[in-house]
């Protein structure tokens, strides 16, 4: 966002027509396709030697409250409003949360989402968690009122010229925009925060950055912060000295030391316990770690990439995640789009999966290349994203037939009763189907929070993770 400035008179406002009406609703734009009126357009332009997608510019103008008169203009497809210094529109209203709400242009529409703020977000006087916006809408955050306006011009979003980046493939605008950011990340040692739903390929993105960076010859070390018990995670990250705790019969280096000269990938960073967050912050700021039971710090030459399927800004508001740690992790943020925003990538992803399975030239590949098969894929919402797609394609290949694919049955479908099988085999088939559908639903109900889902399921979190791994959900 551009910096704060005093507002211009409404009649001179570039975001309004000369009569004060929204340009979006004028006769001139009445017949423009929605995807070209708002959000990232389907139009690609070449500028400065590379291709760009066009995103409608928007402006936020404070019309009431302590910051009346401040306005800022978007420089991308999303903007955050709050009191934290890293917000795009920084307010000084004490009734506004650090990261209060986020505005995104996607699928041709402007969407506002409350980030778990203390006092909530109102759109034209109605309290919302998420809502669509149009020009002239008034947003109320605490004592502050903000006018949202769409502009008549566009922001150019750089697109990669490639359809592959490391381990990833994609030709859709959403993925090429992500590739452009990942390419920039690979050229530096800046800390990267990867955001995206479960199954969008965050670990593949992290390893791809590593492979494309100058650290490619160094180690790539993965630590899943959600899968390791909190009392063991400190030792996993920073190592321990002999005798530091029961069972520590020898000294052991941690992941940071093991990754020296390369990259450490901290998956599920939103699961990190509160008492470990300041220790990770020191490691990020000083690039030095102290083993459990040790009394000296060791310097490490390591590049850090973190990933989460949570909204860490909302976690900061809830005081579950330190704002200073978030600030250090989010030096470069990259959002990986869900598969439902990547319809143009389905055929390419299927081919990629066939190559990974080594059957691209085999007769079974013809099953998943038919127009009817690809059309069925395009109609599915893919809540499990690329991971779900991979599991489904692999299952069809293994069974040599297209299995049912419906939103109700997700990937597994409901198994049929096959009386030609022994009862134990048939029962195991039903059990696997039930377990997968149960896990998917309980994760969805708890916003993909593994800890909360395991607690609601009445089982240990480690065992819950084992079930997720068994069914390909992690």
Residues 147-156 pLDDT 10s:
999 988 888 8
- The candidate with the shortest Cα–Cα distance to 209, out of 78, 306, 285, 339, is 306
Pairing of the two strands 220-224 and 263-267: parallel
pLDDT at 8 over 50: no
What is the mean pLDDT of the segment spanning 24-49? 50
Cα separation values, 42 from 38, 106, 290, Å: 11, 12, 51
Rg (CA), the chain: 25
Mean pLDDT of the chain: 84
Q: What is the pLDDT of residues 320-356, one digit of tens each?
A: 999 999 999 999 999 999 999 999 999 999 999 999 9
Q: What is the pLDDT of residue 419?
A: 63
pTM for this one?
0.76
Q: Provide the 10 A C-beta neighbour count for residue 407.
A: 10
Angle in degrees, CA 446, 450, 454, rounded to 5: 85
pLDDT at 103 over 60: yes
Q: What is the pLDDT of residue 27?
A: 35
Interatomic CA distance for residues 156 and 111, integer angstroms: 19
- The candidate with the shortest Cα–Cα distance to 435, out of 400, 411, 417, 455, is 411
What is the mean pLDDT of the segment spanning 106-135? 90
Q: What is the pLDDT of residue 108?
A: 67
pLDDT at 85 over 70: yes
Is residue 137 within 8 Å of residue 151, measured between CB atoms? no
Tell me the pLDDT band of 24, cut-offs 50, 70 and 90: very low
Q: If DSSP codes are grouped into helix, strand and coil, which group holds residue 421?
A: coil
Tell me the pLDDT band of 267, cut-offs 50, 70 and 90: very high
Q: Which residue has the higher pLDDT, 264 or 431?
A: 264
Residues in a beta bridge with 140: 122, 145
Tell me the pLDDT band of 41, cut-offs 50, 70 and 90: low
Tell me the pLDDT band of 444, cut-offs 50, 70 and 90: confident
Q: What is the pLDDT of residue 288?
A: 94
User: 271-276 long-range contacts, Cβ below 8 Å, gap at least 24?
Assistant: 271/225, 271/226, 271/450, 271/451, 272/225, 272/233, 272/321, 273/230, 273/233, 274/320, 274/322, 275/230, 276/230, 276/233, 276/234, 276/237
Q: Which residue has the higher pLDDT, 420 or 60?
A: 60
Tell me the pLDDT band of 1, cut-offs 50, 70 and 90: low
Q: What is the pLDDT of residue 231?
A: 80
- The candidate with the shortest Cα–Cα distance to 204, out of 175, 173, 166, is 166
* DSSP 8-state assignment for residue 331: T
**Residue 34: Cβ-neighbour burial (10 angstroms; 0-12, 13-18, 19+):** exposed
Tell me the pLDDT band of 261, cut-offs 50, 70 and 90: very high
Interatomic CA distance for residues 40 and 86, integer angstroms: 24
Q: Over pLDDT 90: what percentage of the chain?
A: 53
């Amino acid at each position: 966002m551009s910096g704060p400035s005093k507002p211009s008179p409404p009649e001179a406002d570039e975001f309004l027509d000369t009569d004060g009406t929204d340009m979006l609703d004028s006769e001139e734009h009445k017949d423009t396709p929605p995807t070209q009126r708002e959000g990232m357009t389907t139009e690609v332009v070449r500028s400065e030697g590379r291709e760009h997608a066009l995103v409608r510019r928007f402006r936020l103008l404070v019309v009431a409250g302590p910051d009346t008169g401040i306005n800022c203009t978007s420089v991308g497809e999303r903007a955050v409003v709050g009191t934290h210094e890293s917000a795009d529109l920084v307010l000084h209203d004490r009734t506004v949360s650090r990261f209060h709400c986020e505005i995104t242009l996607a699928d041709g529409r402007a969407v506002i989402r409350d980030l778990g703020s203390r006092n909530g977000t109102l759109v034209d006087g109605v309290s919302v968690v998420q809502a669509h916006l149009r020009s002239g809408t008034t947003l109320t955050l605490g004592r502050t009122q903000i006018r949202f306006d769409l502009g008549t011009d566009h922001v150019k979003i750089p697109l990669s010229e490639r359809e592959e980046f490391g381990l990833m493939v994609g030709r859709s605008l959403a993925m090429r925009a992500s590739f452009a950011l990942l390419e920039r990340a690979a050229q530096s040692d800046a800390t990267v925060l990867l955001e995206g739903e479960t199954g969008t390929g965050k670990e593949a993105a992290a390893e791809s950055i590593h492979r494309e960076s100058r650290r490619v010859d160094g180690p790539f070390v993965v630590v899943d912060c959600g899968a390791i018990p909190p009392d063991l995670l400190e030792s996993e990250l920073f190592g321990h000295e002999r005798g530091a705790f029961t069972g520590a019969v020898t000294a052991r280096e941690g992941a940071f030391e093991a990754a020296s000269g390369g990259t450490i990938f901290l998956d599920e960073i939103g699961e990190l316990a509160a008492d470990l967050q300041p220790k990770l912050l020191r490691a990020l700021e000083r690039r030095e770690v102290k083993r459990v039971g040790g009394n000296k710090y060791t310097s490490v030459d390591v590049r850090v990439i973190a990933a989460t399927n949570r909204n860490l800004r909302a976690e900061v508001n809830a005081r579950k995640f330190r704002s200073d740690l978030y600030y250090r992790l989010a030096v470069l943020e990259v959002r990986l789009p869900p598969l439902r925003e990547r319809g143009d990538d389905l055929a390419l992803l299927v081919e990629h999966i066939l190559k990974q399975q080594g059957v691209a030239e085999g007769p079974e590949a013809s099953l998943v290349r038919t127009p009817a098969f690809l059309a069925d894929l395009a109609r599915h919402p893919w809540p499990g994203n690329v991971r779900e797609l991979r599991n489904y394609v692999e299952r069809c290949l293994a069974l040599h037939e297209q299995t049912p694919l419906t939103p109700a049955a997700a990937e597994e479908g409901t198994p049929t009763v096959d009386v030609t099988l022994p009862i134990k085999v048939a029962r195991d088939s039903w059990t696997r189907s039930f377990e997968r559908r149960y896990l998917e639903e309980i994760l969805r109900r708890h916003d993909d929070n593994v800890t909360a889902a395991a607690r609601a399921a009445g089982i240990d979190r480690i065992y819950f993770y084992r079930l997720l791994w068994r069914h390909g959900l992690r």
